[in-house]
Structure 1
Amino acid sequence: MRTGTRALVIGPYVTRAGSGHEAAGAVRDPLARLDEAVGLARAIDLIIVQAINLTLAAIRPATYLGSGKVEELAGVIKAEEIALVVMDCALSPVQQRNLERAWGAKVIDRTGLILEIFGRRARTREGALQVELAHLTYQKSRLVRSWTHLERQRGGFGFLGGPGETQIETDRRLIQERMTRIERDLGQVKRTRSLHRESRRRVPYPIIALVGYTNAGKSTLFNRLTAAEVRAEDLLFATLDPTARAIALPHGAKAILSDTVGFISDLPTMLVAAFRATLEDVIEADVLLHVRDVSHGDTEAQASDVQGILRDLGIDPADGHRLIEVWNKADLLSPDERTRLANLADRRPPELRPVIVSATSGEGLDRLLAAIELRVAKDRKTYRVLLDPTAGDVLNWLYEETEVLDRRLDEEGRTVLAVRLAEEKAPRLLRRCPGARRVR
């Protein structure tokens, strides 16, 4: 798709009960949905000439829209010299073909648009393979009899010839062969990622994974917590490939923070399957940070979409021992709204209480790190250690391998420490400090 293409974005949203987002239990504002579609189109550098919100009572099998509306839009497309029309819905191959004929312009649906974005954003080998696999799955579904050039037959093989296979069958076979090769390559990539995860487990550092709706500020938060330079900007799907960095928790413990692809409503099914491997860090994470843009008017519906995907991955979004809601972009809130959200957060049980932060200004990050440490430490043991003044090497080891919660001197000049550590490190502690006593 060429940069600078003049585009029209159409949001054809059906009003009948039980359709679209209502079926998933999250009512979304049509204008917010259209604004999101415009953001998706801008993510691939399209020039958005106009965005139109349409309310539909029913979907027409041939063109999705009614004939009168198709004719009316044809005039707009011609007058504005539109080269591409983005339909924020799922079009059948027949509907797509009929609209292209009626409008004299290229037409793509929401699935095609998201695939285009993913194709541009993926940087790692795994990401590129996953995107190509999703593209091929989509293309294979488009090979239908409505495309007349695909009905031509090719000659058969052998001496007798025969009818041979049609172009559509040839294309479908070639696509399937390529998909099979990609799946084989992905198997190798997944095995490599599995080895990396195994090496991380042997460290072992807890894994903290960021999840959330696209553009919720996950990458900005990741950069703030890790001093990394992951791409972070006001752009849907700015980051696709998972990134991991080490972070230090308040009492010195280390953890691995993983940034993942943003979620979105109506994510194409072939992408959910294709990108499941990139979400393995989410599935195996010790702590999940559900980052929400609380300044967005559709924040509740976005949260519902993320929770639905987490459930699909076998994760309970109400598990307060593992998941922390991070209410991000507090700097964009009015004073009254900040007060309202703070009161709302305080009324929740402590284990389900969200942390209000601003990844841009750094506000609330100390509270967030403390909340992460609390979740990580729930299975860790605390010991009381007594050291002579000459045991500097042991003291250094304690600071490197444990969380030092408290340190003071007793009346005899000895160092008294309260340290917390993972259970598997306890034998090493007791070898170095035979007098260490577990306190909780």
Structure 2
Amino acid sequence: MRNQTHDTNATLADRAVLVSLYTNDLKLKEVNLEYSLAELVGLAETAGVEVLDTITQNKDTKDPKWFIGKGKVEELKLRIDELGATTAIFDQELSGAQVRNLEAALDVKIIDRTQLILDIFAGRAKTREGIVQVELAQLSYLLPRLSGQGKNLSRLGGGIGTRGPGETKLETDRRHIRDRINELKGHLHEMVRHRTLHRERRKKTGIFQVALVGYTNAGKSTLLKQLTQADVLVENQLFATLDPTSRNLMLPAGKEIVLTDTVGFIQNLPHDLVAAFRATLEEANEADLILHIVDSSSDNRSDQMKVVQKVLEELGASGKEQMTVFNKIDLCSPEEREMLTTEGEYIKINAYSPSDLDKLKEAVQERMTGDTLTFRIPSDRGDLAAHVYRIGEVLEQSFDESDILYNVRINRLDYEKLGYVLEPYTEA
């Protein structure tokens, strides 16, 4: 596989005009055009692109040939020539024919939002599984668009839209690419099998599993690092980390849990990417508790939360037990903090505050525990007494004749697994 590090000289050559089309379909979906375009700027900058200008167009429907219409293309051409841009990045997904037509008319590299996100992922993937998943997503995206690549194939010296599979793979025929896709799916299937076995082993041990999910740049990796001292990259960038990381975390009562960071979500996350990363994202589906990390300081907090819930629904994880964690409250005014509310249980924290981290650990511990139950165990039944200590936290013990009464705050998972040998005691 081709080296996926940035080519600095090529990256510096990427000077782009960003284009967004607002159609009736997007209006019906209540898509915030201004926010989406601002996010595209962030994505472009994350990919190392210099953004020269942004252009928007309102149309009832997209033009099947030119996407934004012939007149707007001519206007875009003048702006590109005036600024000396080398690339046009579109906020919506383009067809192969549209890429070919725009490329011929504008004489610059044409990239859409999906290709830009895939390109960023190609630069972020570090593990074998991540690299395979990204290449699979890129090839799945490119296969139906091969006829639209045109001059893009001659522009493959580097920069955005070219990291990952590499120029030789893009120049091969469809059959070769389909063979490569099948090969990658085989590799991924084997990796998924290993991941599933690992998950099952964790489940058998009865360890409580918590998944961190949230919009990209909400602070998931920061939180994992602060809670567990995990060696993970923390940057103020979109998709700073890509590969999932699991670490053990000790709770205040001495119980250990597994905490897993997942890839950040984003609106219009490419379907090919969701499909390729399903095995990774399913860490959320297997979790006993999902912590939905929210950037409290974001002006688009509400929209970002909706996107996360939509992706969780697609994964079949929306019914999982959840707690919302409003992060970065140190960047909010007191009035703004007061307005941070949502349905269900939530907590407000600053990931760099030790007292807030303690608060969060206590909250997770509370979610693990069930009712407080009393068990009456004969004093000569040490085997049953040992079970009592394994199913929760013993709060108090007292003696009654030849029996011992244990008052226990139950750990749900342990009680489900081991509690069948014990009968809760109720006074007659």
TM-score of the superposed pair, with normalisation by structure 1: 0.80
8 Å Cα contact 1:6-1:81 kept in structure 2: no
8 Å Cα contact 1:219-1:232 kept in structure 2: yes
Q: Provide, for residues 62-94 of structure 1, a one-character-per-residue CA deviation record: whole Å limited to 9, x for no partner.
A: 111122221222122122221122111111111
SS at match of 1:208: strand
8 Å Cα contact 1:90-1:110 kept in structure 2: yes
Once the two structures are TM-superposed, the CA of residue 32 in structure 1 deviates from its matched residue by 1.5
SS at match of 2:173: helix
Structure-2 residue corresponding to 1:129 = 132
Once the two structures are TM-superposed, the CA of residue 6 in structure 1 deviates from its matched residue by 3.3
Aligned pair 1:103/2:103, yes or no? no
In the aligned structure 2, how far is the partner of 1:200 from the partner of 1:219?
A: 22
Alpha carbons of structure 1 residues 402 and 224: separation in structure 2 relative to 1, 3 Å? farther
Once the two structures are TM-superposed, the CA of residue 425 in structure 1 deviates from its matched residue by 4.0
Aligned pair 1:93/2:93, yes or no? no
Comparing 261-270 with 195-204, which one deviates more in the overlay?
Answer: 195-204
Once the two structures are TM-superposed, the CA of residue 147 in structure 1 deviates from its matched residue by 4.9
Alpha carbons of structure 1 residues 337 and 52: separation in structure 2 relative to 1, 3 Å? same
Which of 23, 34, 37 in structure 2 is aligned with 1:34? 37
Which of 164, 170, 173 in structure 2 is aligned with 1:171? 173
Structure-2 residue corresponding to 1:337 = 336
Structure-2 residue corresponding to 1:153 = none
Comparing 197-206 with 84-93, which one deviates more in the overlay?
Answer: 197-206
Structure-2 residue corresponding to 1:325 = 324
Q: Give, as a single letter, the amino acid of the residue that structure 2 aligns with 1:324.
A: M
Structure-2 residue corresponding to 1:4 = 12
8 Å Cα contact 1:7-1:49 kept in structure 2: yes
Structure-1 residue corresponding to 2:184 = 182
Aligned pair 1:366/2:368, yes or no? no
Q: Give, as a single letter, the amino acid of the residue that structure 2 aligns with 1:404.
A: E
Once the two structures are TM-superposed, the CA of residue 365 in structure 1 deviates from its matched residue by 2.9
Q: Give, as a single letter, the amino acid of the residue that structure 1 aligns with 2:36.
A: R
8 Å Cα contact 1:383-1:438 kept in structure 2: yes
Q: Provide, for residues 222-253 of structure 1, a one-character-per-residue CA deviation record: whole Å limited to 9, x for no partner.
A: 11221213112111111111110011223221
In the aligned structure 1, how far is the partner of 2:308 from the partner of 2:289?
A: 16
Structure-2 residue corresponding to 1:116 = 119
8 Å Cα contact 2:387-2:418 kept in structure 1: no
Once the two structures are TM-superposed, the CA of residue 40 in structure 1 deviates from its matched residue by 0.9
In the aligned structure 1, how far is the partner of 2:373 from the partner of 2:250?
A: 19
Q: How does 1:208-357 map to 2 (within 5 A)?
A: 208-316=210-318, 322-341=321-340, 344=341, 348=343, 352-357=344-349
SS at match of 1:224: helix
- Alignment size in residue pairs: 396
Q: Provide, for residues 316-366 of structure 1, a one-character-per-residue CA deviation record: whole Å limited to 9, x for no partner.
A: 35x5xx11111121111112111222xx45xx5xxx121111223356333
Once the two structures are TM-superposed, the CA of residue 173 in structure 1 deviates from its matched residue by 0.4
Say what the alpha-carbon RMSD is for the aligned residues. Answer: 3.4
Alpha carbons of structure 1 residues 69 and 253: separation in structure 2 relative to 1, 3 Å? same
Aligned pair 1:420/2:422, yes or no? no
Structure-2 residue corresponding to 1:20 = 26
Q: Give, as a single letter, the amino acid of the residue that structure 2 aligns with 1:3.
A: T
Runs of at least 5 residues in structure 1 that lack an aligned partner in the other structure? 151-167, 431-435
Once the two structures are TM-superposed, the CA of residue 395 in structure 1 deviates from its matched residue by 11
Alpha carbons of structure 1 residues 385 and 121: separation in structure 2 relative to 1, 3 Å? farther
Alpha carbons of structure 1 residues 180 and 439: separation in structure 2 relative to 1, 3 Å? farther
Identical pairs, percent: 38
8 Å Cα contact 1:252-1:402 kept in structure 2: no
Structure-1 residue corresponding to 2:368 = 376
Q: Give, as a single letter, the amino acid of the residue that structure 2 aligns with 1:353.
A: E
In the aligned structure 1, how far is the partner of 2:148 from the partner of 2:311?
A: 34
Q: Provide, for residues 105-126 of structure 1, a one-character-per-residue CA deviation record: whole Å limited to 9, x for no partner.
A: 1010011101101111111111
Aligned pair 1:406/2:414, yes or no? no
Alpha carbons of structure 1 residues 204 and 36: separation in structure 2 relative to 1, 3 Å? same
SS at match of 1:310: helix
Runs of at least 5 residues in structure 2 that lack an aligned partner in the other structure? 1-6, 154-169
Q: How does 1:191-202 map to 2 (within 5 A)?
A: 191-202=193-204
In the aligned structure 2, how far is the partner of 1:97 from the partner of 1:427?
A: 66
In the aligned structure 1, how far is the partner of 2:356 from the partner of 2:249?
A: 16
In the aligned structure 1, how far is the partner of 2:62 from the partner of 2:260?
A: 41
Which of 51, 55, 58 in structure 2 is aligned with 1:52? 55
SS at match of 1:240: coil
In the aligned structure 2, how far is the partner of 1:49 from the partner of 1:96?
A: 21
Structure-2 residue corresponding to 1:69 = 72
8 Å Cα contact 2:109-2:152 kept in structure 1: no
In the aligned structure 1, how far is the partner of 2:93 from the partner of 2:345?
A: 37
Alpha carbons of structure 1 residues 202 and 73: separation in structure 2 relative to 1, 3 Å? same
Once the two structures are TM-superposed, the CA of residue 175 in structure 1 deviates from its matched residue by 0.3
8 Å Cα contact 1:402-1:420 kept in structure 2: yes
Structure-1 residue corresponding to 2:163 = none
Q: Give, as a single letter, the amino acid of the residue that structure 2 aligns with 1:4.
A: L
Once the two structures are TM-superposed, the CA of residue 7 in structure 1 deviates from its matched residue by 2.5
8 Å Cα contact 1:119-1:132 kept in structure 2: yes
TM-score of the superposed pair, with normalisation by structure 2: 0.82
8 Å Cα contact 2:217-2:238 kept in structure 1: yes
8 Å Cα contact 1:9-1:38 kept in structure 2: no
Q: Give, as a single letter, the amino acid of the residue that structure 2 aligns with 1:254.
A: E
